[in-house]
Copies of this chain bind each other. A is one copy, B any other.
Amino acid sequence: MDEGLEGFRVKSRGGGNRGGGGTKCGRWNPTTEQVKVLTDLFRAGLRTPTTDQIQKISSQLSFYGNIESKNVFYWFQNHKARERQKRRRVLVEDDEFNDYREFQRDEKISSARHFSEINQEMMETERVTETLQLFPLNPYWETEHEKLRYYANEYNKENHASFPCNFEAEMDHTTLDLRLSFL
C-alpha cells in the first residue's frame, strides 16, 4: 500500500481486468486511473461516501474500466480501515514501549498524543471531512478525462455483458436439504 504522492505504481495492469481474453470473472481489478482517482478522493478527505456518492464515483470510474458501485464501497471501506489499522499499530508499539496495554475501545480520543513523526502525515489525513464536497474535483475530470478516456478504451473488452459467475446456485450438500415444511 502506501500510495505515495506519485501514485504511479507499475502494476502492469495495462487494461485492468478486461481484455487479456481471460474474461475471468474474478474480483475487480482496478486500473491505475481508477486507483488514482479513488486515492485522490480519499486524500481529499472522503472516507465514507454515501450511496449516492458511491454511485457517482462508480459511474465516473467506469470510463477507465469495469467497475461496480460495490467496488467503490469496498475500496473506501478497506482503505479507511487499513489506514486506521496502521495508525493503531503504531500506537500499540508506542504502548508496548511502556508496556502499556489498556485496550480502551474508544478511538475518538486520539487527541494527537505522542505520535511518531511518521504519523505526522497520517494526522493530516486524519482530519476527515465526512461531508466532503466533491466539486473541487471537477477541474480534474474536465481536464484529464478527455485524454485518458481514449487510452482507457484503447482495447474495449469484447465480452463483458455476460456474467457467468456462479451465484450460489448450487445447493449441494446432498443430504443436508432441510425440510422446512413450515410454509
A residues at B contact (CB < 8 Å): 7, 18, 25, 32-33, 36-37, 40-41, 44-45, 51, 53, 55-56, 59-60, 62-63, 66-70, 86, 88-89, 92-93, 96, 114, 117-118, 121, 129, 132-142, 145, 148-149, 152-153, 156-157, 159-173, 175-176, 178-183
Contact = CB atoms under 8 A, between A and B. Distances in A.
Given A176-B63, A178-B142, A183-B45, A159 B168 contact: yes
Contacts of A41: 180
Give the copy number. 2
Contact of A63 (B63, B153, B157, B173): B173
Contacts of A93: 68-69
B92 A161 contact: no
Contact of A118 (B89, B114, B167, B182): B167
Contact of A62 (B133, B148, B171): B171
B89 A68 contact: yes
Contact of A169 (B56, B66, B141, B170): B66
Contacts of A40: 178, 180
A169 to B, nearest CB: 3
A17 to B, nearest CB: 9
